[in-house]
Chains A and B, each alone.
Chain A
Amino acid sequence: MVSPIYIIAGGLGAAFLLGLLPAKWRTFAYGITLATLAFMSWVAGSWLYAFAVNGALPVEIFTAGTQPPFAINLRVGLAEAALALLMTLTGLHAALYMKDTLFKQGRQAMAILLIFIMALCGVVFTRDLFNLFVFMELVMISTGGLVLLSSDQRALGAGIKYLIVSQLISMLMLIGIVFAYHATGTLNIDGMAAAHINLFKGGSLAFFLIFMAVVAELKPFPANGWGLDIYESAHPAFSALFSVATGGATLYAVDKLLLIGGAQWLPMASAIGIVTFIAANLFALVQTNDRRLLGYSSVAQIGLIFTVMGQQDILGERYYFIAGGILLAHAVAKAGLFWLSGLVKQRQLTDWAALRSQPLLVFAFVTFIALLVGLPPFPGFYAKWDLAHLLAADGRLWLLGLILFGALLEAAYLFRWFGYIIKREGSEAGLALQPMKVDATLGAVVVAWLLAYLWGQLSGHGNLLHAIPLLFALLFLPLEWLPAKVKNIMAIAGLVGWFYLSYPSYDAFQLIFAAVMLPGGALILLASFQTQQRRVGFYPAAMLMFAGLSMLIVAKGSFDFFAAWETLTVGSYFLILRGKHSEPHALSYLVFSLGGAFLILAGFALAAQGVMDFQIAALAQVAKPFAPWVFALLAIGFMTKTASVGVHIWLPGAHAEAETDVSPMVSGILLKAGLFGLFVLLMTMGKQQLYGVELTHVMLWIGAISALVGNLLAIFQEDAKRLLAYSSVGQMGYALFGLALMNHLGWLMALMFVINHYIYKSMLFLSVGGVAKRTGTREMYRMGGLITLMPLSFIATLIGIIAVSGVPPLSGFGGRWIFYNAIMTADYRLPMVIIFLAGPIAFLYLFRLIHTVFLGQLKDEFRKIKEAPFWIILPQMIFVAALMVFALVPGVALRKVDVYLSQFFAGNGHLNWEGLTISSDFGYWNPVAIMVIIGVIFSTLFAWLLFVNRKAQPVKQFNIVFAAERPFRPETTHYAWNFFAPYRKALGFLTQPLVTRFWEAVTELLHSAAEVLRRIYTGNGQTYAIHLLAFVVVVYLLWMGGSDGI
């Protein structure tokens, strides 16, 4: 094994050696550079292997043959080796990436690069304070040099700003160092830590100065304008280095300093970190320049890690797992993104749409933003999980909340960016692809997945990359070249196969959900057969969603549950984004969903109280002061998914704009995930009271109002799919209401809703989707009279609306019957008023749907359209059959669950299934008899009418009695637009978009705050220096205030 000192000696020696070469020997010089970087990486890598795998002890390197503190010593342990490997590898990649630039600038540039990397390693290794200073100066000066490699002339300005600030930083640090030395008589970091610097007069002030100096290199808000300018203008490969390597090394330097400063500085670290994290993410929200955005994101991530460092007192042995996870995720992602930015010619975020011509690069982008946001299965996810749990266990909930808020902001702008890539105008001409650069980027992707695997292994929660459903979904990535039909067969086979395999392991309750999600998904996928070509991106996304769903159902531990939750959220986001105009809606879906997911995370974390391996079932044992809060957090999180009123505004756009076969998936299936979560929550935690308020009562109100608002809004929609989408809000409100009733039948009703809503909403979405496909519009008033042209779609819609409205004899009635029986035992009755009002309103929109689309006057332009494609009709017909079967024998699905639910409500409420009659404590119901009686009456009358009027001829379209006029234009005769005008007059005030306005105001507030606040970055280098000074002074005052003036 080669001593780690050779990383430094090698880098330095090679840099000097380059000076010996004739200026013309560029290739040779480049070879030496690469070889040296590779050598450095190899040394670092071999030590990392030794530490990580063989469990070697940290190596101490004593220079000058003298023991510290009398000579400088270096230490290399696991963290140091890992960081060194990270930095050298990034350096190596950067050298490869910058080949052109390095060749142009010659050996000098290569020497600077080598010294830069070497110095960073020095910063990490050294245990001597002044030596740290020297290495930091080296980093700073070489940064000054490398910034100039940019072809952007603005880099000059950025460089000089950086140097001005650096001057200030070095002064503070020097003064601090010498006073610290004076106080302790040593320059050795460990020696100082042992000497308890804070006990010496002046010592803590000296430490303060050093700390501020190094922290300033982390680019804390607001003293970071210079850093952003560098990110924006430097060569992307250097920006990557600046973010990854400098950031990592400086963080480690701060970590070492915290040893000296001791625990009293940890809160300050967290405070600075979190302020930076949130401020930078906020500012990034209004960026349009890609590299500046990445700069803000870098600043934010480093702020986050700094926050984590400030929490090391409670993180214990997980500290390196968490901080390392976030750091590595940040490193790989940021490097990758900066490298990608080098492939895009223009600098606006929207110009990245050019990437779309290269699916592989889009995949790379997705990988990187997933890494940054901390989505499963990447390291940030595991880190986020552990961090949240440890913070919550210690009651640091404010911090947890702020971290999650910042992460949400970050997700918002990153995924908005992704939306641009997928949806905006762009062509291959916007790309400047070079093999070296592409290879480097793809290399980062590989590393990202390797890290994902590694962190999964280390996590102690089980590796997500061992989960078969997830792997199955990922399998579709390499198979993207196959035609869509083949992939569709695979997907259906996968869903059905997995259901078949896991069937024995489901209990009755899980079975309902599994049946809806897996074979149910397969059924909807039948509609996907009608698509042509390869349909790139659809199958990985869809299968990711289904993988998440299938993992969710069987999740036992809270970790598995949450991982599945995020998986399905992300998968569905990609699915929704595929719609033609869905860019803003998909984003809003994602932001709300992630927001909800973060609440769930916080809820689990609070519940677990530090138990990493928390079982869902253990929610029942959560102790008193936390229980209601846990309940509230989880409930709101799940209700975000079911689009309860208040957090429903994402749903209409997302469901309406999705593709024809995606809408039923996200509506019919995905919404059930939220119900599943609520079920699990209520099953385990039951009723909870917060400040004397029964939380399930609050849920009752929310459910009722959702039902009302959803239905009301649905009747005023002109867009058929939006109508159905709002209808889902209402329907989910019913289900939520049923759950919140907290009795046997309420839950049974909610379960029945799971099945019913899946069937009829999928059917309606498919039917309407087919119509929209044929007519090319979703505006209902532009259709009309399609019944003769699209009879099968009409039948599906008719059956669908009868079922939705709950009119006997179809299965919707069963739901209503159970509902009435359920509310009989409810202990709280007021919200019923609202839910009773909501019921009939459903008729309005349902009638509108069928009337304005299929009945009334056929328009001229649609006279020749055909029935929807076979593959869209087929699942609808299967749904019709299923609906009939379920209407006749609901026991097939419900009997077992009914028994299953009995364990929660001992003794009362379950139904009796005697013969064909279903009876409750209050009433009874015989679906078969109803069907037969109505069928007989109906068919008798119909037959008679047909018989007596057997000679009737269909009349021409306009052969109607019309107040002495004979209409001749379908447009003027089809009463369809603003259909419920009187209703709007009477109750329109209830549909004021208050919630939408509220969220718009929030968004607006964030944006304008960012817009105003970011003006502090005036671009003036002196101002930046003043920021730094102000930062130091403010922290000083805070510190004095916090410590009552030492």
Chain B
Amino acid sequence: MDWIAMGTGFTLILMGLYGALTNRNILRIIVSFTVADTGVNLVLVAVGYMHGRTAPILDEAVSAAQAVTRIIDPVPQALVLTAIVIGLGVTALMLTYAYKLYEVKGILDISKCKDLKW
């Protein structure tokens, strides 16, 4: 399963980036980036996955003593949690920018936003 997730993740990243680098509409760029972000998250979780183990939560099923042999690596999950939230933050920020850009200049086309160059 981890191979599938990882493969899918990488595919999503590449697809997202393709979308982000070829669409001119800023909103579409941002959307494409969220797809790529999801791909990254998938890869991250997949790296922590271990066959035949359970979630890193100690309960009746998994006692503290058995934890070492029963649970999967919790660290990537913790990282992904942070990454998702940060991803949201960046997305929100970009959206705000897009909105503001639209408000100020009336454009959403990144290729028209070239008054700074060279």
Contacts and interface: CB of A to CB of B under 8 A. Distances in A.
Chains A and B share a contact (CB less than 8 Å):
yes
B16 to A, nearest CB: 9
Given A130-B82, A154-B115, A171-B17, 19 more contacts: A130-B79, A137-B86, A137-B89, A145-B93, A154-B116, A157-B116, A160-B94, A160-B101, A164-B110, A167-B37, A170-B90, A175-B43, A175-B44, A228-B116, A1019-B116, A1020-B114, A1022-B24, A1026-B21, A1029-B17
B40 interface: yes
Given A144-B93, A171-B13, A178 B76 contact: yes
16 contacts: A141-B89, A153-B105, A154-B115, A157-B114, A157-B116, A161-B113, A171-B17, A174-B83, A175-B43, A178-B48, A178-B79, A181-B47, A1019-B114, A1020-B113, A1022-B22, A1022-B111
A229 interface: yes
A141 B93 contact: yes
Interface string B47-78: 11000000000000000000000000001100
A828 B21 CA distance: 68
Contacts of A141: 89-90, 93
A823 interface: no
A773 B18 CA distance: 70
Nearest 5 interchain pairs by C-beta? A1019-B117, A1019-B114, A157-B113, A229-B116, A160-B97
Contacts of B36: 167, 171
A871 to B, nearest CB: 51
A726 B67 CA distance: 88
A174 B44 contact: yes
Given A141-B90, A1014-B118, A1022-B110, A156 B97 contact: yes
B29 A168 contact: no
A134 B82 contact: yes
Interface in A132-180: 134, 137, 140-141, 144-145, 148, 153-154, 156-161, 163-164, 166-168, 170-171, 174-175, 177-179
A833 B14 CA distance: 73
Given A1020-B114, A1021-B113, A171 B90 contact: no
Nearest to B102: A156
A566 interface: no
B115 A163 contact: no
Interface of B: 13, 17, 20-22, 24, 26, 29, 33, 36-37, 40, 43-44, 47-48, 75-76, 79, 82-83, 86, 89-90, 93-94, 97-98, 100-101, 104-105, 110-111, 113-118
Contacts of A1022: 20-22, 24, 29, 110-111
Contacts of B114: 157, 1018-1020
B104 A153 contact: yes
A710 B48 CA distance: 77
Contacts of B43: 175, 178
A599 interface: no
A1017 interface: yes
A732 B116 CA distance: 49
A225 B48 CA distance: 36
Nearest to A155: B116
B76 A1017 contact: no
A532 B33 CA distance: 68
A159 B33 CA distance: 16
B47 A1020 contact: no
A167 B31 CA distance: 12
B99 to A, nearest CB: 10
A159 B97 contact: yes
A178 B90 contact: no
A182 interface: yes
B47 A179 contact: yes
Contacts of A171: 13, 17, 36-37, 40
Contacts of A159: 97
A491 B93 CA distance: 61
A170 B16 CA distance: 14
A156 B100 contact: yes
Contacts of B104: 153, 156
A175 B101 CA distance: 31
A167 B90 contact: yes
Number of chain A interface residues as a range = 35 or more
Contacts of B113: 156-157, 160-161, 1019-1021
A692 to B, nearest CB: 49
A1025 B20 contact: yes
Contacts of A1019: 113-118
A1038 to B, nearest CB: 22
A164 B36 CA distance: 12
B47 A182 contact: yes
Interface centre among A137, A166, A167, by most chain B C-beta atoms within 10 angstroms, is A167
Interface string A1002-1046: 000000000000110111111001100100000000000000000
A225 B116 CA distance: 9
Contact of B101 (A137, A145, A157): A157
A130 B48 CA distance: 15
Nearest to B16: A171
Nearest to B93: A144
A164 B117 contact: no
A160 B76 contact: no
A154 B105 CA distance: 10
B84 to A, nearest CB: 11
A1030 B98 CA distance: 26
A756 interface: no
A937 to B, nearest CB: 73
A718 interface: no
B110 A160 contact: yes
A41 interface: no
Interface string A207-248: 000000000000000000100110011000000000000000
Contact of B111 (A175, A178, A1020): A1020
A622 to B, nearest CB: 46
A179 B76 CA distance: 10
A167 B33 contact: yes
A181 B21 CA distance: 29
A229 B115 CA distance: 9
Contacts of B82: 130, 134
Interface in A617-659: none
Interface string A512-550: 000000000000000000000000000000000000000
A408 interface: no
A187 interface: yes
A439 B97 CA distance: 34
Given A156-B101, A174-B40, A233-B116, A1021 B90 contact: no
Contacts of B17: 168, 171, 1029
B90 A163 contact: yes
B100 to A, nearest CB: 6
Contact of A181 (B75, B98, B110, B111): B75
A1028 to B, nearest CB: 10
Nearest to B83: A174
A13 to B, nearest CB: 20
Interface centre among A157, A159, A175, A179, by most chain B C-beta atoms within 10 angstroms, is A157
A163 B92 CA distance: 11
Given A154-B115, A156-B97, A1020 B83 contact: no
A220 to B, nearest CB: 18
A233 B117 CA distance: 11
A350 B36 CA distance: 46
A1015 B118 contact: yes
Interface centre among A154, A171, A233, A1018, by most chain B C-beta atoms within 10 angstroms, is A171
Contact of A163 (B44, B47, B93): B93
Interface centre among A160, A1021, A1022, A1029, by most chain B C-beta atoms within 10 angstroms, is A160
B4 to A, nearest CB: 17
B101 A166 contact: no
B97 A144 contact: yes
A134 B40 contact: no
A234 to B, nearest CB: 11
A225 B114 CA distance: 11
A999 B97 CA distance: 47
